[in-house]
A and B are shown apart, each in its own frame.
Chain A
């Protein structure tokens, strides 16, 4: 049955009356009950006949797309919640007080923020947006964006669980993430007009927020922020999930895995795999581990460096905030860097 996302309504007045708020709450709760009822009464698999409503190809596409959304949504929600904390609840000037003033050490410290906010890459997009709305420069936000999905405790622990504390893969991932983030930040900072890298709508919003006075009611502001971020991030997440699922259905994975032992091509293959599969950086180490006997360690490290930053889901999410020309720059820098590290390791280790 069709589901309407919003009920018909008359244009509400600008001022909020209590009655209007109660009516809106009733509508919102009604929506929740409706969604729950639809899901509860829709057909389910009875476990015996294994209902397949859709033909195999479309069914697998649907399962894959849903699995990306289900896997990513909690991180996106966590990222939005943290961005609300950063944007609405942390007092103005508090963050800025503890950061060094000179650009290079400042970005170096910013690249470690992820140690305090352990969200993976999809949660970092709303958080980076929150930081920019607070007045962080695009260079600083980008440094955070590239560093945080690698330099955070969850990712370090899961990588260590998969590959151990010894070996070259873990230290190279950590160090590589740090260097790459600061390299990207340094390049963006050198841009003559970094705000040109942002999409106009978001750039405008940053300017408005930066000049806004802070006297306001925080809870409604938090709810409004959640709505604004959901409006921007969710469509991107779904598009990213659909593209990732479509690639998975269309491209035989065996084609990539077949070239595992070639020291040059295997780096390319693992990077392509990382970019198409769009795994969350918290768990990609476990997936990469299953390729460790067929692929060289440099290729695995290239996978672990590029995956958290450049993949189809991430590109869709980044497009909400950054212009295409910036994404091309980011992709080129990250791909060249990860490939160089991977090839270097394959030769040296």
Chain B
């Protein structure tokens, strides 16, 4: 077996091992309910179906790779000699190629291992701050109850029990008449982002349309008072009512004055859609 055959065989086993590992982790996440940490549940069935195909396909391919003994695909390397020009380009090109392959192998192994052995995790408050809470303008963007935000402004009787952080954040941002919302009571669950303030925090959720990469943070400001500020990243349930922001220079015209702030466990599905 030539060295290039051996290299090809290891590359195939690495690629197939990673395919199998990621697919197995995907199926495991789907079973344990953790897949929502990474992708929108809309794609659950598709993702699971293809992962279920990938596992036996990888097994079959590993069998072929192991039993063929040589190259992954059946061709004779001697039949296609490297042209002189390529040969002459020589050592530096080969070193560069090996280096590239090495870096790629490290990326494959590192991400695969992370998926295999680390607890699945959601994004942190750090990313929420870095993406600027409420920078995008999620209203009806991801469908669903976001549309209700507009109706809320007019009618005093709208049922807001199903409202999430996204809906309230949209309503607060869109309203032209803040008095229509003042005094409304709400109960919301989210994680804490403390952007340097000493007496308030932003109760935040990530909204994802496809997967965690596109997560956009939305939030409402909670005037907790300097004594009762929870830690960043902590999950809390806040019950309170909307009041005008005492800080008139702030962009957030309405804030929550909390009646209670209760620490809670991170929800099984930490995102809104």
**A interface residues (Cβ-Cβ under 8 A, vs B):** 1, 3, 5-6, 9, 11-14, 16, 20-21, 23-25, 27-29, 31-32, 35-36, 38-40, 42-45, 47-48, 50-54, 56-57, 59-60, 62-71, 73-75, 77-78, 80-81, 200, 204-205, 207-209, 212, 219-220, 222-228, 230-236, 238-239, 241-242, 244-245, 248-249, 252-254, 257, 277-280, 283-284, 286-287, 289-294
Contact = CB atoms under 8 A, between A and B. Distances in A.
Contacts of A48: 265
Given A45-B121, A56-B124, A3 B68 contact: no
B235 A277 contact: no
Given A21-B63, A28-B66, A226-B57, A241 B15 contact: no
Contacts of B37: 63, 67
Nearest to A289: B141
A283 B209 contact: yes
Contacts of B59: 25, 28-29, 31-32
Contacts of A208: 75, 79-80
Nearest to A58: B114
A284 to B, nearest CB: 8
Interface of B is mostly: helix
Interface string B22-45: 111110110010110111100100
B268 A227 contact: no
Contacts of B58: 28, 226, 230
A24 B28 CA distance: 25
B228 interface: no
B119 interface: yes
Interface stretch (B105-113, B157-165, B178-186): B105-113
A3 B14 contact: no
A43 to B, nearest CB: 5
Given A63-B123, A70-B211, A71-B213, 5 more contacts: A11-B69, A224-B74, A241-B111, A254-B130, A277-B213
Contacts of A220: 64
Contacts of B110: 242
B139 interface: yes
27 contacts: A1-B117, A9-B66, A12-B68, A23-B66, A28-B66, A31-B17, A35-B24, A38-B116, A44-B34, A53-B119, A57-B126, A60-B127, A63-B122, A67-B39, A70-B22, A70-B211, A80-B57, A224-B65, A226-B57, A230-B19, A231-B8, A231-B16, A236-B104, A238-B111, A242-B111, A286-B210, A290-B209
Contacts of B63: 21, 24-25, 28, 223
A78 B50 contact: yes
Given A28-B59, A67-B39, A220-B64, A50 B14 contact: no
B64 A60 contact: no
A8 B63 CA distance: 14
Q: Which 6 A-B pairs have the closest CB atoms?
A: A74-B50, A5-B17, A254-B132, A227-B61, A235-B104, A67-B212
Contact of B67 (A24, A239, A244, A283): A24
A122 B212 CA distance: 18
Interface residues of B, number: 107
Contacts of A287: 209-210, 214
Contact of A68 (B55, B112, B213): B213
Q: Report which residue of A6, A75, A219 has the largest number of chain B beta carbons within 10 angstroms of its beta carbon.
A: A6
B152 interface: no
A212 B74 CA distance: 10
B151 interface: no
Contacts of B105: 235
B38 A204 contact: no
Contact of B210 (A13, A32, A279): A279
Contacts of B169: none
A223 B47 contact: no
A161 B18 CA distance: 35
Q: Report which residue of B32, B107, B265 has the largest number of chain A beta carbons within 10 angstroms of its beta carbon.
A: B107
B115 interface: yes
Q: Report which residue of A28, A71, A219, A220 has the largest number of chain B beta carbons within 10 angstroms of its beta carbon.
A: A28
B213 to A, nearest CB: 6
Q: Report which residue of B17, B57, B211 has the largest number of chain A beta carbons within 10 angstroms of its beta carbon.
A: B211
Contacts of B12: 227-228, 230-231
Contacts of A277: 213-214
A70 B67 contact: no
B73 interface: yes
A24 B62 contact: yes
B142 A77 contact: no
B202 interface: no
